[in-house]
Amino acid sequence: MNWAQGGGQVSAYGWITLLGLLIGGWLWSRRWKQRPDSFAIFIGAVCGAYLGAKLLFLLAEGWLYVGDEGWIMQWLTGKTIVGALLGGYGGVELTKKLVGHTEPTGDWFAVGVPLSIAMGRIGCLRYGCCLGDPCDPEAWYALTDGQGIDRWPASPAELVFNLLFVVAILPIVLRKAGRGQLFHLYLVSYGLFRFFHEFQRATPEILGPLSGYQLGAIALIVLGGWRGWQRMQENCVSHSGEDQPPANATG
């Protein structure tokens, strides 16, 4: 779907993507006033996310388009949220090491990322990409694509998941509970959702019944669980240190 503006056509998907970046930049500009190095972390997250989104797409299905008409455009425009999460996480961790930032930053992303993904799925729905598998035309959930094929509503399902995650985690954020673990929780939750949801999506299988995106989803689960366990161990050590009396204490 295109929106006309001036003398040309501007993709609705492009506008929604730009809006998501602008909102993210605005939120991080507020954080920047408190922590100047947070802007560098934002840039690292964006660069890592775009790199990861592109690489996983090429590994998962981009290679299938080589030789097809318009395959270069497919390579240039193809991307995936799973790869963006993996690459974005790596970009943040690398940038933190470069700028010397030692405090956890994941909680900053725990609400903003699922909201941005939900906005992106609105773009997918309007643009007609990220399709579900063909399904029974009589099913109440069936969506008809541009070719008249009734499909599983993949984009709306992911939109609903991300909005429900925000609704569920927002009270935790407001209470300032689970600090340092909220984004790890999202990585595991989204990884689990995406792994099983892939069985209803029209994506190529590259390892038995699994798609490349499911392999990426497994990586998200492992990354979120591993880093969450590490953070829990760090917190336990920190709290045990606080409970120790000073060496010169008497009583």
- pLDDT tens sequence across 203-241: 999 999 999 999 999 999 999 999 999 988 887 776 565
**Domain ranges across the chain:** 10-239
User: Which has the higher per-residue pLDDT, 106 or 111?
Assistant: 111
User: How many CB atoms sit inside 10 A of residue 99's CB?
Assistant: 15
* Concatenated DSSP letters of 5-49: ETTEEEEHHHHHHHHHHHHHHHHHHHHHHH-TTHHHHHHHHHHHH
pTM across the whole model? 0.83
- pLDDT tens sequence across 48-100: 999 999 999 999 998 888 877 877 887 887 889 999 999 999 999 999 999 88
- The CA-based diameter of the chain, rounded to the nearest angstrom, is 82
Q: How far is CA 177 from the centre of its chain?
A: 22
Alpha-carbon gap, residue 130 to 216, rounded angstroms: 16
Number of residues that this document lists for the chain: 251
Kindly report the backbone phi and psi dihedral angles of residue 133, in degrees, each rounded to the nearest multiple of 5, phi listed first: -70, 155
29: nearest Cα among 19, 17, 41: 41
Alpha-carbon gap, residue 211 to 158, rounded angstroms: 17
* Concatenated DSSP letters of 81-120: HHHHHHHHHHHHHHHHHHHT--S--HHHHHHHHHHHHHHH
3-class DSSP assignment, residue 205: strand
User: Residue 7: which pLDDT band, with cuts at 50, 70 and 90?
Assistant: very low
Alpha-carbon gap, residue 180 to 186, rounded angstroms: 12
Give the chain's end-to-end CA distance (angstroms, integer).
75
